[in-house]
Amino acid sequence: MKKTRLLAAGAVTLAAVIAMSGCAGGEAAPEAQPTTLKLTINTPPSSFAIGNLAGQDATLSLSIYDTLVMRDLNNELVAAAAESWEYSEDRRTLTFDIRDGQEFSDGSPLDADAVVASLDLARTGPSSQAAFASISAIEAPDESTVVITLAEPDAALLPNLARPFGAIGAPSVLTEESSQLSPVGSGPYVLDQDATTVGSEYTLTRNPANWNADAYEFDTVKITVIQDPAAVVSATQTGEIDYALVSPQEVNVFPTSEFASGENLPTAIGGLWIVDRAGSIVPALADLRVRQAINMALDRDGIAESLGGGTSTATNQVYSPVDGAFSDQLLDVDAYDPAAARKLLAEAGYADGFDITVPSTVISQTFESIITQQLGEVGVRVTWEPVPFQDFYSKVFAGNYGMFFMYNAISGSDALDTSAVLQGVFNPFNSTTPELDSLLDAANVAAEDDQPESYRAINEYFVDQAWFAPMSYSSPTYVVTRSVDYTPSTISTSSLLPWTPASSE
């Protein structure tokens, strides 16, 4: 993509020189027309206030606010509002050098004090305090330096700073009620209040003062709230929006002369999450052989092919196949083998099988029949208990279930994905072991270049110990109008960088 865009830029430059040489009368070349990108989200943001930027698409907030670091199209962490950073040898102190001359959209300076004010607020914010729990202090020794001191090494800190948790807002309005709907940031775009209808459509205008403004080529971005997937398809067909996620079957309704299509990078892992590893409510799950048998009872390839809608690929790992922790060498561990699964259950003392109650939600219903059948064939008798989705999390946190079916979003960071499956709903019993704690400690103190190897060791532990029973990862299909170039990327739900005006070739 970069090579194409450079070639296109060279062609435009050559054309301009030829045009100028032929204009003996001095006629000015026409100005480039403003460009607009039209996207959609399914839920409007509940708030733009620092510390409350969660539970929503991150594209809006990370377009309005800058962060100390960001992810590029290759999913690498790169400099943003901070032009560089450095860890101390013990990985407990992180020092950032803030770019000079940055301003918020209200004209106030983005300096070290502004960064400290935002991050201190985020440390107590309901949506971000858990992400920054390892921070013990944030200081600004001078106007261009920020020093973060950690209570313990935390490999997830840098990637968390690239998320909305790390947004930097103008100090004058951080705690004002107006910040909920009228954010003041320094990002590549500014929220156009006059052209925005809260809850329905949000309009962004390009911020030429942003340090990275040249990387964002659209002058205006309109983001419309559309909750109905069928309405998204219709809006894309009629040109109301430029890009949409669709089913592989729906691609056929978009003429190839007007639309391009393709497959996004993996976005989520779906499967059975075995959470009661101590056997508190389901004693059988405490036995490794039982957890292995559950994994071996699942025909992952068959399930992905028959129920994945053409966007799923079988996996036995909780990490994205494009990230460092993933290992092809682990794919055959606990592979589909019902006979071996029955043998393991017998060895564990469950020759007659055992019963388990699992919550039935709108997320699991498509898979319930096949899971019941395949686990039942080896002796695991599943009863699905209907649970309204709004009650699912509270019931899981209350320790009502030893296992459930759910999807977990892939972040693009091994550290974040590890934290996600060891906290919250995916670990309601707070399971751990001395061996896992040792592996996590090693990953947290590892330098960036060494982290993939450290997280592969954690992944291997998860697979060998059958901590979970992942089934497949999802790679959604997209369509995009041919007036827009799109680069599939992990950051397509948090940045506008993947979209550019179509290059003329």
The sign of the torsion formed by the CA atoms of 382, 388, 390, 394 equals negative
Q: Tell me: pLDDT of 5 over 70.
A: no
Q: Taking residues 155-164, what's their average pLDDT?
A: 96
- Residue 23 confidence (pLDDT): 38
Structure tokens at 298: 């699942």
Residues 293 and 322 in one domain: yes
- Boundaries of domain holding 488: 2-14+32-226+481-501
CA distance 382 to 252: 38
In a domain, 245, yes or no: no
- Residues 320 and 382 both lie in one domain: yes
Neighbours of 197 (CB within 10 A): 11
* pLDDT attached to residue 22: 36
Helix or strand run (H / E) with residue 288: helix 288-297
Judge whether 19 lies within some domain.
Answer: no
Residue 61 pLDDT greater than 80, yes or no: yes
For 225-282, the pLDDT digits (tens) are 999 999 999 999 999 999 999 999 999 999 999 999 999 999 999 999 999 999 999 9
Asked if 95 and 146 count as a contact pair (C-beta separation under 8 A), the reply is yes
CATH of the domain at 415: 3.10.105.10
279 and 369 both lie in a single domain:
yes
pLDDT in tens, 415-463: 999 999 999 999 999 999 999 999 999 999 999 999 999 999 999 999 9
Q: Judge whether 110 lies within some domain.
A: yes
C-alpha dihedral, 292 to 293 to 297 to 301, nearest 10°: 10
Prediction pTM value: 0.88
Query: Is residue 488 domain-shared with residue 420, that is, in the same domain?
Result: no
Domain shared by 351 and 293, yes or no? yes
251 falls within a domain: no
Residues 211 and 348 in one domain: no
The mean pLDDT of 321-330, rounded to a whole number, is 95
Residue 115 banded pLDDT, cuts 50, 70, 90: very high
Task: Specify whether 312 is located in the same domain as 351.
Answer: yes
Query: Is residue 13 predicted with pLDDT exceeding 80?
Result: no
- Quick check: is 162 in a domain? yes
Distance of CA 157 to the CA centre of its chain: 15
Per-residue pLDDT, averaged over 110-126, amounts to 96
Total of domains in the chain: 2
Q: In the predicted model, is pLDDT for residue 12 greater than 70? A: no
Same structural domain, 54 and 183? yes
Say how far apart CA 162 and CA 66 lie, in whole Å: 9
Contact 412, 71 (CB under 8 A): yes
The reply to whether 123 falls in a domain is yes
The Cβ of residue 90 has, within 10 Å, a number of other Cβ atoms equal to 10
Distance CA 218, CA 317 (A): 38
Question: Looking at residue 158, which CATH number applies to its domain?
Answer: 3.40.190.10
How large a percentage of the chain has pLDDT more than 90? 86
